[in-house]
Amino acid sequence: MHVHQLTVGMMGVCTYIIFCEKSRHAAIIDPGGDEDRILDYCKQEELQVKYILNTHGHPDHVCGNGPIKDATGAQIVMHRADVEYFSDPQLKQYFSALGLPESPPADIIIEDGDTITIGEETLEVIHTPGHSPGGVCYYSAPNLFTGDTLFVGAVGRTDFPQCSMAELTQSIQNKILQLPGETIVWPGHGYGGSQSTLDREKRTNPYF
């Protein structure tokens, strides 16, 4: 699997364009703005974008869903709990303060343990609630796309409605840290760095 990382949008989201080098089928993880840059790379590499994979539904990570879907016909993928969470009118109003566009409805609703096939590559869905109820990581060894569950040297914030540091800690301890130490961590923001490994995070991340 080829991984291309871009930092995009007003919130500095780490967007990933991942693809099967043989088939050129691709997925875009968390298009958080700068859609022209994302699409230009896909055109340059002659990619067929099949999926838009959201690690969670916060506006800074989904604001590019609509333009990318319109341009490519890709299907939007999100966990069931975040589809429900971000459908709540009060929460929509709360998050609208960021001034970012909403995502169109999800085309594919995922659960823990589901798999997504991109050409000859497969991603496993790991449900990691805490930062949001439907937060997920996408895993295809050795790559782990952690969204805002895990950063380099930090973890996601939990001061939003219905979020929980205890739940986030359980997600990390019981699911993420069970993966091999050489797993590459690709975070949702590059606050402490653009990538890491689980071994490094175990040694240096103060939240562990």
**CA–CA dist 48, 17 (Å, integer):** 11
pLDDT at 72: 98
Instruction: Render pLDDT for 97-132 as a digit per residue (tens, 0 to 9).
Output: 777 888 999 999 999 999 999 999 999 999 999 999
pLDDT at 16: 98
The residue with greater pLDDT, 123 or 208, is: 123
Query: pTM of the predicted model, to two decimals?
Result: 0.96
Kind and range of the H or E run holding 26: strand 25-29
Q: What is the mean predicted confidence (pLDDT) over 163-167?
A: 95
Instruction: Outline where DSSP puts E strands in 35-174.
Output: 48-53, 75-79, 108-110, 115-118, 121-127, 136-140, 143-147, 150-151, 154-155
Q: At residue 91, does pLDDT exceed 80?
A: no
The alpha carbon of residue 142 and the mean position of all alpha carbons in its chain are separated, in whole angstroms, by 16
> Which residues are within 8 A (CB) of 185 and not within 5 positions of it... i.e. 6 or more apart?
144, 146, 150, 152, 195, 196, 197, 198, 201
β-strand partners of 124: 115, 139
Query: Which whole-number Å values give the CA distances from 124 to 3, 117, 204, in the listed order?
Result: 16, 9, 26
**CA–CA dist 188, 200 (Å, integer):** 17
**CA–CA dist 195, 88 (Å, integer):** 33
Domain 2-204 class, CATH top level? alpha beta
User: Where in the chain are the domains?
Assistant: 2-204
Output DSSP code: residue 194.
S
Output DSSP code: residue 189.
B
